[in-house]
Chain A
Amino acid sequence: MTTPILSVRDLVVRFTSEAGPVHAVRGVNFDVFPGEVLGIVGESGSGKSVTSLATMGLLPPSAYVEGSVSLEGQEMLGLSDASLSKIRGREIAMVFQDPLSAFTPVYTIGNQIAEAVKVHNKVSKAAAMSRAVELLRLVGIPDPESRVNSFPHEFSGGMRQRAMIAMAIANNPRVIIADEPTTALDVTVQAQVLEVLAKAQDETGAAMMLITHDLGVVAGIADRVAVMYGGRIVESAPVDPLFAEPRMPYTLGLLGAIPRLDSGRTALIPIDGTPPSMVNLPAGCPFAPRCPAVIDECRTREPDLVAVISPDHLAACHRSQEISAGMIDGEPVFAHPDIPELSRTQVDRDDRAIALDVAGLVRQYPVTKGAVFRRQVGTVYAVDGVSLDVRTGEALAVVGESGCGKTSTIMEVLELRAPKSGAITVFGRSTGDLSESDRRHLRRDISVVFQDPLASLDPRLPVGDIIGEPLLTHGIPASQRHARVAELLGLVGLSPAHANRYPGEFSGGQRQRIAIARALALDPQLVVLDEPVSALDVSVQAGVLNLLMELRARLNLAYLFVAHDLSVVRHLADRVAVMYLGRIVEIGEVKEVFDHPHHPYTQALLSAVPLPDPPRERTRERIVLSGDLPSPTFAHVGCRFRSRCWLATEICETTDPQLLSTDSSRHRLDHASACHHAQERSVV
């Protein structure tokens, strides 16, 4: 075995806080070997980012750090900042999560990359600049000679992250640490960036530490994976055995909790409870309070990380020898939750009533300039002719990259006002000719759940008042209101005693349950969900998704929801509409669209979603789109997708494709796409 290039031993990091010491990292050991990719996976608060910062020596001086971090035999902990500066950037480089704040806004990208070169090498300014151009070309920035003089804000998110990678590899480092490098990015851009990261690693032969919360990302790129929980590594193994044969219940739970693109609608397996507080950790295994296979020993003694099957598969669990193939004592570790099937009898879609009908919806925002005399200098065509309908008891998902107009669409629906152009009809009533009191009345039937439950719940109102607000607004008397609030809290899995607490006292998943309870207060028929689970940790997300599925089945709700995570869509939706630049490019039944995508954009989108399945992920064909979403500020002629499309021909430049039903050689299909060259291509 070769010697590790980076070796971390017994790393301990503590912070002080008002409530007592925060044990962020509690004894972490790992090695990174040359040319290897080590994935570190964990939920928020698991200590993964602190580990990476400690490795770089970037923690604030107030942090207490203990243990050993050695880079090629040289001890890094305890080095002065000056001597660390000589190593950072040259031997070990970092790619941060948020590329906008990682660049200085007042210098050009080129200057900042050239600076990274010049700090460690005695080269002329011109030479450093030409190296910067070379690096930008390497990471796939088009026209690097001119883009080198751009400022960070002139780059899109994906391009900034590429530039960040260019900066990291500027001095051929031995180790690259990437901390959630794709978390803030759209899935198609994520695919681009992951490709660039792999290329950069190839080019430099560096070892890489990839820190992420997304098991799918790890599956495709990592050689070895370490799963962190409660400030420790709880399981570590080469990527294939880890996904195939997890031995620690937490890993097992995490794998069961992620919705998968390649499996249909089954209940996910949530992990009960919330991640532990790092202030008052209980004695014993930190996962014990959430573990279904917990035994007495788990509560008293914390298990060591020891080899299980092979010397390189380590797990920290007292019962890891008993766990095999997700079973313990012949029972699955995590019981499959029971979710009632949709009670809806197989009434034909066409025979069900229309809950919401949107026809030719247009939403434009003016672009203005000047502070005193505002004048309009352009128009953002956010939504540009969208037509869709939601039948009662049906879930329609709208998906697309950020900026495609999906949120604008649902906000326009929620306003219940006459749109600039087109028509919105809710339960048979056109929003254009509603009186103010009609509109208020109609709001009983349509409610909303927002993305970030922390932002959508008034922090100054007790939960009981929050959930009771729609009831109060629509004149339900106080006595009924209290009973209904208690009932709703029970419905979403909280206790009625929680009504007197403030939202700040709940965890993210519980807050989203509160938001859902509020949305259901008036027995609506249509619930609009804006990215309902994207702000939640994976293990918590599963519980909320299951709740949404169960509520729909029990209350016969219709959902109109927006998501960027296609796996979530596959689990929750009956139908899906794929949006691109303010238009729907493909719409239809979920299974049909996902298994037989016709529009090239849908195909690219689906192929960009990483699967938490390493062997399949390695062999999957991936369509990586070039470039970014074009600016929505000019009116388009022809197909909007043509600038990024590999099928584009002359007709695409002149003729706007219409949304047409796909090949109907099979029986009557609920599936339409807008492409001149539509052809089926299986990508999942």
Chain B
Amino acid sequence: MALEPLIPDQVLHEPAALDGSLEAALDGGIASDGASTQQALSRGQLVWRRFRRNRAGMGGIIVLGALFALAFIGPHLTQWSYEDIDPNAFLKPPSSTHWFGTTQIGQDVFAQTMRGLQKSLIIGLLVGVISTSIAAVVGATAGYFGSWVENINLFTVSLLLVLPDFLILAIISPRLHDSSWLWFVLLLSIFSWTLTALVIHSLTLSLKQREFVHAARFMGVPSRTIIARHILPNMASFLIIDATITVGAAVLLETGLSYFGFGIQPPDVSLGTLIADGTASALTFPWLFLFAGGFLVVMVLAVSVIGDALRDAVDPQSTARAS
């Protein structure tokens, strides 16, 4: 090509120098990779690469995996089940027979904690993902399409905000009494998405005006693809943080509902109910509270570290700042 030669390489690499070692590593990785395959990576592949390079994020995934393994394998390692009562051990501290001690009525705390961890892991993660997804879909469609879609969506949000959660529960719960706990997950999600949806709505309103959205529209990209490809990724930081927080909040919200007789009922347990029961004796009989509380902290921490790493992987600028 006769026109303007390629921009000299050192000029192009300048931002890499600015961004420090991480970007430089990225350049190196891509350069060697590009040479072998000569193929451009799509966003998904690129995000996964960037995520894998983040040690904390990978650590979070390993911890979360370990928690799952423990929750499902753990109960088989002990002779006690979460319902069993050991009449010879009331309120005993941790020992070789009862690894995490026992409760007032002689239940094995280890077995209970493992059972609770199973429930809470699934409830927490599912609610985090489901509620943020509902919020993203409702908020983004309201903001993007405007007119009647916006009116309906925002009316629904306002309605859910105004109606007390327990009123809805009271109406629905008799029908759900014997159905699966997955319904309960859905219910928890329905209570946690509304405020997020409002924020996403207003974020969408401003993103919609950006030229890259116009550009996609004039290319003929369908609206739902624009929302999925351009609008939501550009608020990924917010979505990820929101989902992370919801995971922890859902575990505790579940406790509140259980207290009122919805959700996890005794003798079944969750981390939430265990924590609620153990709080009163946290100082006198710490094992009742500490193990359940500790696992909740580890779980939420792992999730937020993963969320952080994901955010850095999705947002090119946030990596630059972090390094």
Contact = CB atoms under 8 A, between A and B. Distances in A.
Q: Is the interface of B mostly helix, strand, loop or mixed?
A: helix
A358 interface: no
A443 B218 contact: yes
Contacts of B1: 490-491, 493, 550
Contacts of B173: none
Nearest to B27: A501
Nearest to B43: A465
A469 B3 contact: no
A289 B2 contact: no
A473 B11 contact: no
Interface string B230-255: 10011010000000000000000000
Given A469-B221, A504-B317, A464 B3 contact: no
B39 interface: yes
Contacts of B23: 505
A289 B252 CA distance: 60
Given A459-B316, A460-B316, A543-B4, A273 B11 contact: yes
B215 interface: yes
A500 B40 contact: yes
A450 B4 contact: no
A431 B4 CA distance: 38
Contacts, number: 160
Given A448-B218, A497-B31, A464 B41 contact: yes
Interface stretch (A57-65, A336-344, A347-355, A606-614): A336-344
A461 B231 CA distance: 11
A340 B15 CA distance: 33
A447 interface: yes
Nearest to B35: A497
Contacts of B210: 455
B316 A505 contact: yes
A337 B5 CA distance: 10
Interface centre among A280, A470, A518, by most chain B C-beta atoms within 10 angstroms, is A470
A482 B39 contact: yes
Interface in A470-501: 470, 473-474, 482, 485-486, 490-491, 493-501
Contacts of A273: 7-8, 11
A18 B23 CA distance: 15
Given A450-B211, A462-B40, A493 B230 contact: no
B290 interface: no
A452 interface: yes
Contact of A473 (B15, B221, B233, B236): B221
Interface in B268-297: none
Nearest to A413: B218
A456 B46 contact: no
Given A277-B14, A456-B212, A504 B316 contact: yes
A270 interface: yes
B7 A470 contact: no
Interface in B17-46: 17-20, 23, 30-31, 34, 38-43, 46
B56 interface: no
Contacts of A270: 4
A469 B219 contact: yes
Contact of A497 (B30, B43, B211, B233): B30
B240 to A, nearest CB: 13
Contacts of B234: 458-460
Interface centre among A270, A460, A490, by most chain B C-beta atoms within 10 angstroms, is A460
Interface centre among A18, A458, A485, A510, by most chain B C-beta atoms within 10 angstroms, is A458
Contacts of B315: 460
B2 A338 contact: yes
B4 to A, nearest CB: 5
A19 B40 contact: no
A500 B215 contact: no
Contacts of B10: 289
Contact of A272 (B4, B42, B46, B233): B4
B30 to A, nearest CB: 5
Contact of B7 (A18, A455, A510): A510
Interface in A437-457: 439-440, 443-444, 446-448, 450-452, 455-457
Contacts of B211: 450-452, 455-456
A286 B185 CA distance: 62
A417 to B, nearest CB: 12
Contacts of B215: 448, 450, 456-457, 515, 518
Contacts of A624: none
A172 interface: no
A460 B236 contact: yes
Contacts of B43: 460-462, 465
A274 interface: yes
Interface string B291-323: 000000000000000000000001111001100
10 A-B pairs with least C-beta separation = A464-B40, A499-B40, A502-B316, A443-B220, A456-B211, A338-B2, A455-B211, A440-B220, A460-B233, A458-B212
Interface of B: 1-8, 10-12, 14-20, 23, 30-31, 34, 38-43, 46, 210-212, 214-216, 218-222, 225, 229-230, 233-234, 236, 314-317, 320-321
Given A447-B218, A458-B216, A500-B41, 13 more contacts: A443-B219, A443-B220, A460-B314, A461-B43, A464-B42, A482-B39, A486-B38, A495-B12, A501-B30, A515-B215, A543-B4, A547-B3, A550-B1
19 contacts: A18-B321, A19-B18, A273-B8, A280-B14, A447-B219, A458-B230, A460-B43, A461-B43, A464-B42, A485-B40, A493-B3, A496-B38, A500-B46, A501-B30, A502-B316, A504-B316, A505-B23, A515-B215, A546-B4
